[in-house]
Amino acid sequence: MKPKNIYLVLLLGLSGPILLIFSEFFSWFSDYNLIELYVIVTDSQIEDSFLFLFPIISGVICLIANGLVIFNSEYRIKSIILSFVGIGFQLLFFIDHITQEIEFISDARIGLYLGIFGFLLILINLIYVLTTLENPSGG
């Protein structure tokens, strides 16, 4: 792989989780962002409130996973496993939250688009990492 492509892949790998974390601070369907919804729902229903933290948890997990690959390419399998855990958190959030707000999908705000785009970038990076072969000679 050319050095220029390595930097593009690293940028792609880091931009997905960062967008997912940023989506936490923008509104998805209402005028509230997910942090504000977490605080509001914590007052009434504690069991549903942690759902609003899943995008930030997923973004941090995937950011750590991509950091492992940047730090040392030998941790590639561990980073893939961590990325699948992060994707699982985000899929739970998408399935639960978007199905509750499906009637408001036409009123979607920028947070939803940032979340979906960050999630897709994480998937693309994960597919890329899974399909690249490591050079056994080390060079």
Q: Is residue 14 predicted with pLDDT exceeding 50?
A: yes
Which residue, among 28, 26, 22, 7, has the nearest Cα to 94 in the 3D structure? 28
Q: DSSP letter at 98?
A: I
How far apart CA 104 and CA 66 sit, in angstroms, is: 34
Using CA atoms of 82, 60, 117, 31 in order, give the dihedral in degrees to the nearest 10. Answer: 140
115/55 Cα distance (integer angstroms)? 8
- Asked if residue 24 is part of any domain, the answer here is yes
What's the confidence (pLDDT) of residue 18?
Answer: 92
Residue 98 maps to a domain? yes
Q: What pLDDT is recorded for position 2?
A: 53
For residue 64, is pLDDT > 80? yes
- CA dist 91 and 137 (Å) reads 38
- Contact between 15 and 134 under an 8 Å Cβ cutoff? The reply is no
Please tell me the predicted confidence (pLDDT) of residue 68.
84
- Who wins on pLDDT, 138 or 119? 119
pTM, two decimals, is 0.83
- φ/ψ (deg, to 5) at 64: -65, -40
Quick check: is 139 in a domain?
A: no
Residue 12 lies in a domain: yes
What is the total count of domains within the chain?
1
Amino acid at residue number 138: G
Range of the domain at 44: 3-130
Q: How many residues does the chain have?
A: 139
Q: Is residue 125 part of a domain?
A: yes
pLDDT at 139: 46
Of these ranges, 27-41, 69-83, 109-123, the one predicted with the greatest mean pLDDT is: 109-123
pLDDT in tens, 100-132: 877 767 777 888 889 899 999 999 888 888 887
